[in-house]
Structure 1
């Protein structure tokens, strides 16, 4: 599969790349034939599906290369707005989003092939989604997946995730030796360790050390699940607390507050509290800018209208409950519940 931009492929190369060992004139099993065992029925359909999936992947890679070539030529000799490229897509009823998805797939294929991470002959063992996931993975994961494909294994997204989790667990320096030993023995599945590692990467060293100590003392699945939840809440708390303006420049020790929340086993509640505080501050800031904009537009419209425009003036009068210093909003259609907010600004100039 030579890159189309560097060396245009010959017709024979394209045919060979898309060639499949099975004729596309498939004979599907009769769904009403009760003589066919369920397992045989499923296997026959799965075999057909794999051929279609393989053909779909190879075809989309080449479509991406074609689209990339058209796009790049347009960049050099087009009008600067990509009109020729967009017209080409329009004629073939391809959206711009679909086109760039295919181009990304082609780029991924060429990168994997150029770096020697993938044998062109093993592409047939990938599903399309698995191929894309492999291209997004770390080089080490790509190597593991490619080795599995070259050994003849069928590669789906499940296999890519499994290999990625195994590599994450065994290569991470955040996991103590006791945990890695359990993982290598197979008694502590990597799929449980990968989420923990990802959450721990967000934490400062002081909190990581506490989690590592607990893991080393009890290297089992239940402990890992519990610590994953704790690490997630820790990261959420630290991230949200750092964003709350109300807590900044105040005589409060957020680390000690965190320690107390951990001791009382209410970290999740504390994390949600600071998260909601951040969202409220952001909502207030947006409310204020929207309120100022509404008042400015109301003033402009008032100047542009007069007594001869009674309907516009009536609309402005009705909206005064939103543009005045006291904002009044009814929360239900019956008007039984009303919220009033007074806007008071304190400019420190």
Structure 2
């Protein structure tokens, strides 16, 4: 009986138009000061943003219910769920994005981190950012929202940066002290922590010594760039077969590059080597495909298709063991490549 009443209430709600009627100021009315004009539009925009957030949370809850029902009584492949999405022209990625938003909303509400009425103080993007943030950041954002503050993505990111600057164990005390008195902006500290988290402990310690000795903005920027290069180097090195086959000690090579001041060059070299190997693999797969397609086209054509045969004759050499290509520029070069398959 209660379910029937709830259904009737929802059906009745659909008969009423959404309360989204605004008085948009006339853009040609020169009597309205620019500041007032923009403020009126900003208020209308915030209402739309809030309405959009509430709508998408409920869409996520609806889709989650359909998906869960399908898991329990469907064919196990989600056919009914996918059919439902198709009928409403909703992509699978969009559906799961809404479900994730609904899950985040329910988690924040159920754990008591957020009052339901405070949801209206968030922009949609700010709410998503909050759901992804650390519990401590969620608590700070929720407190601000419940006091009536307008929460945008910028505020969430700022609080996230501040919490990172104060809590990360990767930062030496001199940096934390300057972060606490705002002499070092958190927006410079958070990117450094993010990059340092990707590094082995030995390289973290080197960077920690640098920023502890000179805890200023320029040093933080330099350390962030250096950490990014280190992470790039390590990621690329793990993918280079030439290095793994020769059993090169990547860590020591990296330390030496850092010591002699050529870290960026070494990182770029390793990255280019990784790209080179990937390009060779892609070239081989493309070469095989050209060979197979040329063979199929040769079988399907004959004297009645002279132009198609001409096209085949021109492209077919690219599937041979030796390929030639002219590179034009300041001076022309002919590149000859030979591919040999070996077991």
Please give the TM-score of this superposition, normalised by the length of structure 1.
Answer: 0.83
Q: Secondary structure at the match of 1:248?
A: helix
C-alpha separation in 1, matches of 2:305 and 2:23: 75
Q: Does 1:100 align with 2:89?
A: no
Is the 1:328–1:338 Cα contact (8 Å) retained in structure 2?
Answer: yes
Q: Does 1:250 align with 2:246?
A: yes
Is the 2:130–2:156 Cα contact (8 Å) retained in structure 1?
Answer: yes
Match of 1:273 in 2: 269
User: Residues 273-313 of structure 1: CA distance to partner in whole angstroms, max 9, x if unpaired?
Assistant: 11010010111122223323433554566577778887776
Q: Which runs of 5+ in 2 are unaligned?
A: 12-17
Q: Does 1:73 align with 2:69?
A: yes
C-alpha separation in 2, matches of 1:149 and 1:169: 22
**Structure 1 residues 87, 260: closer, same or farther in 2, change over 3 A?**
closer
Q: Offset of 1:234 from its aligned partner?
A: 1.2
User: Residues 18-55 of structure 1: CA distance to partner in whole angstroms, max 9, x if unpaired?
Assistant: xxxx9643223232333332222222222222222112
User: Residues 237-264 of structure 1: CA distance to partner in whole angstroms, max 9, x if unpaired?
Assistant: 1221232111234375544543443344
Q: Offset of 1:83 from its aligned partner?
A: 4.5
Is the 1:243–1:278 Cα contact (8 Å) retained in structure 2?
Answer: yes
Q: Offset of 1:225 from its aligned partner?
A: 0.6
User: CA RMSD of the aligned region, Å?
Assistant: 3.2
Q: Does 1:163 align with 2:194?
A: no
Q: Does 1:57 align with 2:53?
A: yes
Question: Which runs of structure 2 are paired with 1:1-349 in the superposition (5 Å)?
Answer: 10=6, 24-250=20-246, 252-299=248-295, 316-331=312-327, 337-347=333-343
C-alpha separation in 2, matches of 1:14 and 1:162: 39
C-alpha separation in 2, matches of 1:325 and 1:38: 70
Is the 2:323–2:338 Cα contact (8 Å) retained in structure 1?
Answer: yes
Is the 1:322–1:329 Cα contact (8 Å) retained in structure 2?
Answer: no
Is the 2:290–2:316 Cα contact (8 Å) retained in structure 1?
Answer: no
Q: Offset of 1:113 from its aligned partner?
A: 1.2
Q: Secondary structure at the match of 1:339?
A: strand
Corresponding residue pairs, total: 334
Q: Offset of 1:213 from its aligned partner?
A: 1.0
C-alpha separation in 2, matches of 1:320 and 1:51: 62
**Structure 1 residues 128, 309: closer, same or farther in 2, change over 3 A?**
closer
Higher deviation after alignment, 310-319 or 57-66: 310-319
C-alpha separation in 1, matches of 2:213 and 2:337: 53
**Structure 1 residues 282, 124: closer, same or farther in 2, change over 3 A?**
same
Q: Offset of 1:161 from its aligned partner?
A: 0.6
Q: Offset of 1:90 from its aligned partner?
A: 4.2
Q: Which runs of 5+ in 1 are unaligned?
A: 1-6, 16-21
C-alpha separation in 1, matches of 2:340 and 2:20: 73
Q: Secondary structure at the match of 1:153?
A: coil
Higher deviation after alignment, 84-93 or 155-164: 84-93
C-alpha separation in 2, matches of 1:278 and 1:285: 11
C-alpha separation in 1, matches of 2:324 and 2:135: 57
C-alpha separation in 1, matches of 2:5 and 2:108: 18
Is the 2:325–2:334 Cα contact (8 Å) retained in structure 1?
Answer: yes
Q: Offset of 1:129 from its aligned partner?
A: 0.7
